[in-house]
Amino acid sequence: MTTTPRRLAAVGTAAVIAAAGLSACSSSSGSGSKDGFTYWSMWTAQEPQGQAIKKLFDQYTAETGVKVDVQFLGRDVNTRIVPAITANKAPDLWDQGSDVIYGSAASTGQALDLTPVLSMQVPGEGKTVGEIIPAKYNQALPKDSNGVQNWVIPYIVSSAEFFYNAADPDIKAAMPTPPATWADFIKVCDALKAKSKPCLASEGEDDWTNGLIFDYRLNAAGVNFADLTNDKTGAAWDNPAVLKAAQETDQLIAGHYVVPGYDATKTPAQETAWASGKDAFFMNGSWVTSETGKEVASTWKYGAMLPPGVTAPDSMTFGFTIPKKAKHADAAEKFIAWFVQQKNMAALASTADTLTTRTDVPAPADLTDVQKALDSSAVRLTFDGQSGDDVYTKVFAQNFLDFWHGKLAPEQFVAKVKATQVSYWKSQS
């Protein structure tokens, strides 16, 4: 998952109620409920998420008297958090994409086990945090080095799908109902091609968004991307289902269904072209609606669908985590329980045009299709959690781009990745 989408009162009776609601069990040996704590945010103060979260922190201090030292660091939090943890100067609370949290802290056992937070009462709702945040989001994540599953409490969720303009007459005519199979999707592309409308937008140099299509074809064929790329022998690439996934992906390239010239453009040229209606579908994360919201026509109606045959939507969560050595972890935990109240999450969703992890907070109108997909009983990680890892970057990415740009046939792509993968794992041993 990329974590950089171009892409979160008075004291008195309310404070008493809040304090009572926040008194349920917490995990750490931190200080009392009135102690302040420090927080580093992955958002900038100018981003809609940052604006929403700033208001909620101000509201929290007004309601509880707890002061919070907030720093909106943006994506710089990625490079600052590890040195800070090492120097024992980390904030008490920080947030990021779950993949980054895992890579920088959880994988080395530096994130606090937040399982006790799941048992804390959400103020005024008569439910615990664990009852209102679906467990499936954390169950899709890897356990940390100590076997802990709940090292993050996710509050925002995104998913990658084929996005399109449901009000486009060409798309409505080509796709009266969602395609049930990949062959049906190709027929939709044929119908669009007959009207001189490219079926697919593509930021040609982006291995991640384009690679999602191959990842989803693997999933539809019952192949786990992480299992495939972690196979040190490379034999997993001999599975006929892998070649089938490559051949299906190649249909988009060989059939000239991708917008002409896609391999020679730079982001966000093709996203902008898509938002102007020049082509039909665009595989991307659900942040694409907020990125293009000011570019699309007033008649535009966002639609989204999973590629036919996939078994589960992917999920990319963003959430709170606490360093294991945080000095005021107790206060940070109480804030998390306060933050996930329905009214707070609803404010975040409306201000930032985003999906929250609460199922009882309505999705923004342009993300209702994505919410329906995420309502499934299970979710999966993009590339089955392998995105951004060394094996993804050094083995898959460039070979996939060569394939996506038409330089490798499906059979050549499979053979090339297999050979690169075997060499990579030998070098690691």
3-state secondary structure of 240: helix
What is the C-alpha separation between 366 and 164, in angstroms, rounded? 11
Summarize the confidence of residues 378-403 as an average pLDDT. Answer: 94
CA neighbor of 98 nearest in space, from 88, 83, 111: 111
If DSSP codes are grouped into helix, strand and coil, which group holds residue 196?
A: coil
Separation between Cα atoms, residue 226 and residue 218, nearest integer Å: 11
Do 43 and 53 contact (CB within 8 A), yes or no? yes
The DSSP secondary structure of 107-155, one letter per residue, reads GGT-B---GGGGGSEETTTTEEHHHHS-THHHHTSPP-TTS-S-S-EEE
Which residues make Cβ contacts (< 8 Å) with residue 238, sequence separation at least 6?
418
pLDDT digit string (tens) for 77-115? 989 999 999 999 999 999 999 999 999 999 999 999 999
Q: What is the pLDDT of residue 32?
A: 42
The three-point CA angle 214-427-147 to 5° equals: 70
d(CA 59, CA 66): 10
CA distance 8 to 1: 20
pLDDT surpasses 50 at 279: yes
Distance CA 61, CA 67 (A): 5
Contact 150, 115 (CB under 8 A): yes
What span, in angstroms and rounded, lies between the C-alpha atoms of 347 and 56?
9
pLDDT tens-digit map of 137-180 = 999 999 999 999 999 999 999 999 999 999 999 999 999 999 99
Per-residue pLDDT of 4-43, as tens digits, reads: 344 322 223 233 233 333 333 444 444 444 679 999 999 9
Q: What DSSP designation does 261 have?
A: T
- Check whether 205 has a pLDDT greater than 80: yes
CA distance 83 to 200: 42
Token pair recorded at residue 111: 């994130």
Q: Which amino acid type is present at position 81?
A: I
Over residues 301-346, the pLDDT tens digits come to 999 999 999 999 999 999 999 999 999 999 999 999 999 999 999 9
- The pTM score is 0.88
pLDDT value for 22: 37
Check residues 46 and 30 and name the one with the higher pLDDT. 46
- State the average pLDDT over residues 379-406: 94
Query: Is the backbone of residue 6 left (phi > 0), alpha (psi -120 to 50) or beta?
Result: alpha
Say whether pLDDT at 285 is over 50: yes
DSSP state of 317: E
Task: State residue 388's pLDDT score.
Answer: 78
Per residue in 398-425, pLDDT tens?
999 999 999 999 999 999 999 999 999 9
pLDDT for 34:
65
CA angle 359, 299, 271 (to 5 degrees): 75
pLDDT tops 70 at residue 300: yes
Section 372-397 average pLDDT = 94
Q: Which residue has the higher pLDDT, 120 or 30?
A: 120
